[in-house]
């Protein structure tokens, strides 16, 4: 599909992005497009990507994988309800308190919670956790208290205090890392091993992993940084090769084509059309993966602070739609309005910190991804590329049906 190839080439030249990859799956025909252009390391002009084999760091695109593992436990009867208190499965959550400020030595001042945190709160980002790049108090924890550094992939870094009472607000944070901890405690398997056994192998997505092989280490795209002056350089050695803990919020690696095998199950009521294996029950897909699960009177709103500009730009996404037209399912941001790109109302989507973006349009039977590897998140050029890529997908879909 030359138009999509040209878009990816356009955005990976002239110093716009280090690389640009894209993929599209339709319900009727499966993987109809995968492509990519650019460099694994912008400082090495010989390091051209091979989009069929090069590994990406998926960052928060990991979240849908971890929440699917949790729903698989629910399907299996090993978790009773998403309204169960988290402490039923992870005793350590009893020690989590609410941050109300800092003393003169920048040590946190804490108070006990009143509400018990539930699995629903974790799934819907209404538990009270945050990230250092979306919260000034968390930035202080990161800088002064040796915690909230998610890239260390150490469990202690995720045992951070809450910003509010569980179940009272929406705020994006390390909630899904705690979901991964629930999966571990219930199954006695690391999140990576659980996903390999019950998701990756059953759908034939063998490159997806929480611990990169030697081959993947040698064939991965470096995370890059765009600096305020516009210069781009690679951040070599940023990520931990052998994580102590498999972070459900950001720890996944693999090929874009294999990630599409995962997204594809949501076009088929939880079944992999490639292998015929049912990953989640159809009723679980519709009642959890596709249904807004936010607590009563809690909405997706602009609560994210601009606290670490090198990691994320100011987030404007949630201001683009009325709060009544947005929701949060077990796995996705739900948008109940049609988009100018051609995407249907009632679509599901999310993203990853180095500017990876995906969507699922169940009504039209299409899912796609645009991906690069550059900080900060919500990069203007990456968003332009994603918008142009998605628009081109729908323009061709409308003209040619699912034959891209």
The residues annotated with a catalytic role in the active site are 60, 63, 172
Q: Tell me which residue has tokens 């949060």.
A: 328
DSSP 44-76: -TT-B--TTT-BEE-GGGHHHHHHHHHHHHHHT
Pairing, β 224-226 against β 374-375: parallel
Strand order in the sheet with 374-375: 232-234, 224-226, 374-375
Q: Considering only CA atoms, which of 164, 267, 255 is closest in space to residue 213?
A: 255
Q: What is the DSSP letter of 126?
A: -
Rg of the chain over all Cα atoms, to the nearest angstrom: 20
Residue closest to 266 by CA, chosen among 341, 329, 327, 325:
329
Q: Quote the crossing angle between the two packed helices 62-75 and 175-187, to the nearest 10°.
A: 40
Per-residue HEC secondary structure of 2-25 comes to HHHHHHHHHHCCCCCCCEEEEEEE
Percentages helix, strand, coil for the chain (3-state, rounded to 5) are 35, 20, 50
Q: For residues 140 and 159, give the distance between their C-alpha atoms in angstroms, rounded to a whole number.
A: 15
Token pair recorded at residue 141: 């924890």
Provide the 10 A C-beta neighbour count for residue 244: 12
Q: How far apart are CA 94 and CA 112, in angstroms?
A: 9
In three-state secondary structure terms, 39 is strand
What is d(CA 349, CA 347) in angstroms, rounded to the nearest whole number?
Answer: 7
What phi-psi label fits residue 14: left (phi over 0), alpha (psi between -120 and 50 degrees) or beta? Answer: left
| Separation of alpha carbons 31 and 50, rounded Å | 17
Buried b (16+ CB within 10 A) or exposed e, 274-300: beebbbbbeebbebbbbeebbbeebbb
Q: What are phi and psi of 402, to 5 degrees?
A: -90, 10
């Amino acid at each position: 599909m030359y138009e999509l190839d040209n878009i990816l080439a356009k955005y990976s030249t002239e110093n716009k992005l280090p690389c640009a990859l894209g993929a599209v799956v339709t319900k009727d025909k499966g993987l109809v497009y995968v492509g990519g252009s650019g460099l694994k390391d912008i400082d090495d002009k010989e390091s051209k990507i091979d989009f069929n084999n090069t590994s990406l760091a998926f960052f928060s695109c990991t979240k849908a994988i971890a929440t699917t593992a949790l729903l698989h436990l629910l399907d299996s009867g090993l978790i009773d309800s998403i309204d169960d208190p988290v402490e039923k499965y992870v005793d350590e959550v009893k020690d989590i308190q609410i941050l109300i400020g800092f003393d003169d030595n920048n040590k946190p001042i804490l108070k006990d919670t009143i509400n018990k945190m539930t699995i629903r709160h974790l799934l819907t980002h209404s538990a009270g956790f945050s990230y250092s790049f979306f919260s000034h108090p968390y930035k202080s924890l990161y800088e002064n208290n040796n915690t909230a550094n998610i890239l260390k992939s150490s469990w202690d870094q995720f045992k951070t205090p809450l910003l509010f009472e569980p179940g009272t607000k929406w705020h994006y944070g390390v909630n899904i890392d705690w979901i991964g901890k629930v999966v571990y405690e219930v199954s006695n398997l690391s999140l990576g091993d659980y996903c390999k056994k019950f998701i990756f192998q059953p759908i034939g997505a063998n490159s997806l992993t929480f611990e990169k092989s030697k081959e993947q280490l040698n064939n991965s795209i470096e995370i890059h940084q765009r600096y305020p002056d516009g210069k781009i350089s690679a951040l070599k050695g940023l990520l931990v090769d052998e994580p102590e803990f498999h972070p459900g919020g950001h720890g996944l690696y693999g090929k874009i084509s294999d990630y599409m095998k995962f997204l594809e199950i949501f076009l088929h009521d939880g079944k992999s059309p490639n292998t015929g294996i049912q990953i989640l029950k159809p009723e679980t897909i519709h009642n959890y993966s596709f249904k807004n699960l936010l607590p009563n009177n809690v909405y997706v709103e602009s609560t994210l602070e601009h606290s670490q500009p090198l990691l994320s730009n100011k987030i404007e996404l949630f201001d683009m739609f009325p709060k009544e037209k947005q929701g949060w399912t077990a796995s996705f941001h739900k948008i109940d309005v049609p988009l100018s790109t051609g995407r249907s109302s009632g679509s599901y989507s999310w993203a990853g910190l180095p500017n990876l973006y995906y969507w699922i349009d169940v009504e039209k039977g299409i899912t796609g991804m645009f991906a690069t590897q550059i900080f900060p998140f919500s990069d203007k050029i990456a968003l332009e590329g994603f918008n142009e890529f998605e628009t081109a997908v729908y323009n061709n879909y409308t003209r040619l049906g699912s034959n891209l």
